[in-house]
């Protein structure tokens, strides 16, 4: 009796996973993160035997290089996938690497075509704006404040000390002043 219930539950979870796969339009099984977006969580996956068990039962490969051996995509196919994903997502900027990974493009695919920057430049597609300000380059009027470490090191060498010794002496001199001022307050 209980085994029938377990099998029915397992079958229902597998059907939910397959429905999720169809809804996302994937040729592989959805990832656990994608399934969580559809309300199928890890505990339910464990009841079904895990994604690897579902893959074995259904014959649908799991996502990821370790599970699928696919032919290398040509440069035109990769660029076409990027442009298609941009249209499918309904965005006016370049898709993020994570969004491209979700449709099956890997970092190696992107490197092979020269990266997203090249595609952005050639097709005139801007990148997504972030909230951060770009770093400002130093203008003609701005100067970097020079470090005094070299001067202090030279001063220490003249006294026959290392720079660290000079730093310790300076620290002790500062703390010594603090201790003296405390004693004066107590009197």
pLDDT in the model for residue 22: 85
| 61-108 confidence digits (pLDDT tens) | 877 644 445 678 888 888 888 888 888 888 888 888 888 888 778 888
Q: pTM of the prediction?
A: 0.38
Measured distance CA(60)–CA(54) in Å, rounded:
8
Phi then psi for residue 137, to 5 deg, are -75, 155
């Amino acid at each position: 009796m209980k085994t029938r219930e377990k099998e029915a539950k397992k079958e229902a979870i597998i059907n939910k996973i397959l429905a999720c796969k169809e809804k996302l339009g994937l040729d592989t099984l959805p990832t656990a993160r994608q399934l969580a977006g559809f309300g199928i969580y890890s505990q339910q996956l464990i009841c079904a035997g895990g994604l690897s068990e579902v893959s074995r039962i259904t014959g649908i490969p799991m996502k990821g290089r370790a599970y699928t051996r696919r032919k290398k995509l040509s440069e035109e196919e990769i660029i076409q996938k990027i442009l298609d994903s941009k249209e499918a997502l309904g965005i006016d900027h370049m898709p993020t690497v994570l969004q491209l990974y979700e449709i099956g493009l890997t970092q190696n695919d992107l490197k092979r075509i020269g990266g997203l920057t090249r595609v952005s430049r050639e097709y005139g597609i801007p990148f997504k704006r972030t909230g951060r300000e770009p770093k400002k380059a130093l203008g003609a009027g701005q100067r970097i404040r020079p470090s005094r470490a070299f001067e202090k090191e030279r001063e220490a060498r003249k006294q026959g000390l290392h720079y660290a010794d000079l730093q310790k002496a300076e620290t002790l001199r500062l703390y010594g002043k603090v201790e003296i001022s405390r004693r004066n307050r107590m009197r």
